[in-house]
Chain A
């Protein structure tokens, strides 16, 4: 009996349903893990928002529009898709004309309700200039190892399931969270 109670308590404290090989806190795409994330406004110092269209893995420039044309009443817009922690999908497919599909915006240019949860503490400093001349033709992929860990969610949002992803590739990206940060 005691054993069953202990097991039940453990299950309540730890998400038992999580597959063993799935990381409990997918770090790289933190903001994509946020539930009910909303875009609360533009972060462009009054400049138009550059919008993207198409496959978020290979996005294309769509147009630039002011925030007011996306949200005339300045109401928050729900994030209907999220890609790799960088691109957020808007519930709008008409701001840049027809045949664009739902538009994407770079996370840098907007404020979201989940921003505070994913505020990071320091730079990851992966940047460096490549200035070593090589007496050879390139035939390799560069490596880049992050020197500091990426920001961790501060709340239990890390344990929640990924937000609904509007695009298949977004879902794929969310399921392989460590790919981007380590492959190059």
Chain B
């Protein structure tokens, strides 16, 4: 990596100029560089840039997803654990639970009614049934379900049922069920229908965003079926209508909010998970060329109670009712399925595949954790230009720091990490002992091996750096070493200031503008990895244009 490009050769060659004009020039040049950087940060021809941006976001969550400053979710057991936040609990229905009640998949309405009446005992804050009960069912089963729903409504426990269209549950109304007093049980009175539509990124089909609502392009924002997590959050923390309207207003139909993920499994799940719920991923893995994202984990990030445990205490005898109430009472409960072969799996950024209900559970966790103000990408904002202006401002500051450092490195002198002429003069004769074909072929084979085998890459790079530093120390004079140390100190000083700018930008962008961390590594790469260097040619071009303009002015050929 070389940061030694001398870009400032033309700086200040047009005679004396005031400090103000130099400052203005510097500001304009850094703005030009920042604009180029912004363009390339968002340059996405054929979608090739999207995967890297998404992956860098996944890395941020993989490394820091447990940190409260990034994702302040409730993790401790208890009804209102974690900064007073209500917990989200998944109740997982699998074949063992069905067998306990002598039914097979798809489970009949009676089964759902029964399970709901058992869940009612635990006094949750609300219950989502993540099953599409949209097929006509026997009258008795429908009436059982509606009567339990009415019972839940009486207990102020809202019941949410998944639908694909508003009229999906018309068959339930057609059953003409009545309660004990003879009053008709209507779906609209006892059940809240919600959308369970899923979104996935086009680039890699990972579900990182969660839709606000399900609607077509032609519909007005806010008129669609609210997504499950959105509706549940707004009903709980309302006022419901205003909350849904705020979240859905001015959004395109395909808009969604970004899901923050934690690599850590919920501590409750350790009681049944055969694997550790504590991830071992760290940024050091990336440095060491190891897998940087957590591997597939069967310990999900949401507390999970298997329905079979609820229905049969012998499944987990240590989970007594006190613990059960501690987990579920006051929590949002989402009932989902994990039926083998059903295909209801969602691809997540950090846990690879999980049953689909976790998509809604994590979305609700996000809404709760961020107080109903989840992170939303720039492309889903209206108007979006201010958010890109924010990016430009950040890059402008970073570019100014970069140019300031470049200004302090004397023109024509070495950058902090460049190879000196003396070192080149020592290395070249050493290699020149061998014929051209021999050293070129040897170098090619070594590079080929390093490309093919990942493990020796780091070792080889470390050895090369040590060798080059050794050569430099041997051949360079004291003055040159002093100059180089000054350059290195400047480099790290500039990196430090850039990092401070990035931290400030991240804080403002994440905390106040609610932007997801997709651009964070982009900022960092411009500041630290010499991406600005790759685009400094535009500055040379800009300076040449300046010179021509001034020559025209000096010659009396000003613009007419």
Given A60-B144, A61-B117, A109-B121, check contact A128 B321 (CB 8 Å).
no
B110 contacts the other chain (Cβ, under 8 Å)?
Answer: yes
Instruction: List A58-110 residues whose CB lies under 8 Å from chain B.
Output: 58-61, 64, 84-86, 97, 106-109
* B141 to chain A: closest residue by CB: A60
B107 to chain A, nearest CB (A): 12
- A127 touches which of B101, B151, B309, B329 (Cβ 8 Å): B309
* A64 to chain B: closest residue by CB: B117
Instruction: List A134-149 residues whose CB lies under 8 Å from chain B.
Output: 134, 137-138, 142, 144
A120 contacts the other chain (Cβ, under 8 Å)?
Answer: yes
Asked if residues A48 and B121 are in contact (CB atoms below 8 Å), the reply is yes
B38 contacts the other chain (Cβ, under 8 Å)?
Answer: no
- Cβ proximity bits A109-139 to B, threshold 8 Å, 1 near / 0 not: 1000000000111111111111111100110
Given A61-B117, A123-B317, check contact A86 B100 (CB 8 Å).
yes
B378 contacts the other chain (Cβ, under 8 Å)?
Answer: no
Asked if residues B325 and A45 are in contact (CB atoms below 8 Å), the reply is yes
Asked if residues A131 and B352 are in contact (CB atoms below 8 Å), the reply is yes
Asked if residues A142 and B340 are in contact (CB atoms below 8 Å), the reply is yes
B311 contacts the other chain (Cβ, under 8 Å)?
Answer: yes
Number of interface residues of B (CB under 8 A): 57
* B113 to chain A: closest residue by CB: A61
B519 to chain A, nearest CB (A): 31
- A131 touches which of B304, B311, B325, B345 (Cβ 8 Å): B345
Determine the chain A residues whose CB is within 8 A of the CB of B319 once the complex forms: 123
A139 to chain B, nearest CB (A): 9
Instruction: List B295-332 residues whose CB lies under 8 Å from chain A.
Output: 296, 298, 300, 304, 306, 308-319, 321, 325, 329
A4 contacts the other chain (Cβ, under 8 Å)?
Answer: no
User: Considering the chains assembled together, what is the distance between the CA atoms of A103 and B101 in angstroms?
Assistant: 15
* B296 to chain A: closest residue by CB: A131
Asked if residues A130 and B338 are in contact (CB atoms below 8 Å), the reply is yes
Asked if residues B341 and A123 are in contact (CB atoms below 8 Å), the reply is no
* B320 to chain A: closest residue by CB: A43
Asked if residues B96 and A126 are in contact (CB atoms below 8 Å), the reply is yes
Given A28-B314, A47-B123, check contact A129 B321 (CB 8 Å).
no
User: Considering the chains assembled together, what is the distance between the CA atoms of A97 and B309 in angstroms?
Assistant: 29
Determine the chain A residues whose CB is within 8 A of the CB of B309 once the complex forms: 127
B95 contacts the other chain (Cβ, under 8 Å)?
Answer: yes
B159 to chain A, nearest CB (A): 14
Asked if residues B120 and A64 are in contact (CB atoms below 8 Å), the reply is yes
Given A52-B114, A58-B103, A60-B144, check contact A127 B341 (CB 8 Å).
no
* B341 to chain A: closest residue by CB: A138
B94 contacts the other chain (Cβ, under 8 Å)?
Answer: yes
Given A129-B355, A150-B314, check contact A60 B102 (CB 8 Å).
no
Asked if residues A142 and B95 are in contact (CB atoms below 8 Å), the reply is yes
Determine the chain B residues whose CB is within 8 A of the CB of A130 once the complex forms: 94, 338-340, 355
B274 contacts the other chain (Cβ, under 8 Å)?
Answer: yes
B67 contacts the other chain (Cβ, under 8 Å)?
Answer: no
Determine the chain B residues whose CB is within 8 A of the CB of A43 once the complex forms: 321
Determine the chain A residues whose CB is within 8 A of the CB of B353 once the complex forms: 131-133
Determine the chain A residues whose CB is within 8 A of the CB of B273 once the complex forms: 128
A7 to chain B, nearest CB (A): 38
B243 contacts the other chain (Cβ, under 8 Å)?
Answer: no
Asked if residues A86 and B354 are in contact (CB atoms below 8 Å), the reply is no
User: Considering the chains assembled together, what is the distance between the CA atoms of A108 and B323 in angstroms?
Assistant: 12
Determine the chain A residues whose CB is within 8 A of the CB of B311 once the complex forms: 86, 106, 108
B258 to chain A, nearest CB (A): 23
B272 contacts the other chain (Cβ, under 8 Å)?
Answer: yes
Determine the chain B residues whose CB is within 8 A of the CB of A107 once the complex forms: 313
- Among A60, A85, A137, A183, chain B packs the most CB atoms within 10 A around the CB of A60
- B92 touches which of A45, A59, A123, A129 (Cβ 8 Å): A129
- Among A48, A127, A130, chain B packs the most CB atoms within 10 A around the CB of A127
A91 to chain B, nearest CB (A): 21
B118 contacts the other chain (Cβ, under 8 Å)?
Answer: yes
Given A57-B102, A120-B317, A124-B314, check contact A131 B355 (CB 8 Å).
yes
Given A43-B321, A123-B317, check contact A86 B312 (CB 8 Å).
yes
B271 contacts the other chain (Cβ, under 8 Å)?
Answer: yes
Determine the chain A residues whose CB is within 8 A of the CB of B317 once the complex forms: 119-124, 151
Given A108-B321, A125-B274, A138-B340, check contact A180 B121 (CB 8 Å).
no
User: Considering the chains assembled together, what is the distance between the CA atoms of A144 and B59 in angstroms?
Assistant: 36
Asked if residues B308 and A127 are in contact (CB atoms below 8 Å), the reply is yes
B547 contacts the other chain (Cβ, under 8 Å)?
Answer: no
B148 contacts the other chain (Cβ, under 8 Å)?
Answer: yes
User: Considering the chains assembled together, what is the distance between the CA atoms of A170 and B317 in angstroms?
Assistant: 22
* B346 to chain A: closest residue by CB: A131
Determine the chain B residues whose CB is within 8 A of the CB of A106 once the complex forms: 118, 311
Determine the chain A residues whose CB is within 8 A of the CB of B321 once the complex forms: 43-45, 108-109
Determine the chain A residues whose CB is within 8 A of the CB of B315 once the complex forms: 123-124, 126-127
User: Considering the chains assembled together, what is the distance between the CA atoms of A45 and B314 in angstroms?
Assistant: 20
B133 to chain A, nearest CB (A): 15
Asked if residues B355 and A151 are in contact (CB atoms below 8 Å), the reply is no
A136 to chain B, nearest CB (A): 8
- Among B99, B122, B312, chain A packs the most CB atoms within 10 A around the CB of B312
User: Considering the chains assembled together, what is the distance between the CA atoms of A129 and B352 in angstroms?
Assistant: 13
- Among B95, B103, B117, chain A packs the most CB atoms within 10 A around the CB of B117
User: Considering the chains assembled together, what is the distance between the CA atoms of A49 and B118 in angstroms?
Assistant: 8
* A115 to chain B: closest residue by CB: B313
A184 contacts the other chain (Cβ, under 8 Å)?
Answer: yes
Asked if residues A131 and B354 are in contact (CB atoms below 8 Å), the reply is yes
User: Considering the chains assembled together, what is the distance between the CA atoms of A119 and B320 in angstroms?
Assistant: 11
Asked if residues B274 and A184 are in contact (CB atoms below 8 Å), the reply is no
- B272 touches which of A84, A128, A142, A151 (Cβ 8 Å): A128
User: Considering the chains assembled together, what is the distance between the CA atoms of A144 and B97 in angstroms?
Assistant: 12
Determine the chain B residues whose CB is within 8 A of the CB of A47 once the complex forms: 120-123
Determine the chain B residues whose CB is within 8 A of the CB of A50 once the complex forms: 114, 117-118, 120-121
Beyond known contacts A50-B114, A130-B355: 11 more, CB 8 A cutoff: A48-B121, A49-B121, A59-B114, A64-B120, A85-B314, A109-B118, A109-B121, A109-B321, A130-B339, A131-B354, A180-B99
> Can you list 17 A-B contacts with CB-CB less than 8 angstroms, sorted by A residue number?
A45-B325, A47-B121, A50-B120, A52-B114, A58-B102, A59-B114, A86-B312, A86-B314, A106-B311, A108-B321, A121-B317, A124-B315, A125-B316, A126-B308, A130-B94, A130-B340, A131-B345
The 4 lowest CB-CB distance pairs between A and B, nearest first, are A138-B341, A120-B317, A58-B102, A50-B117
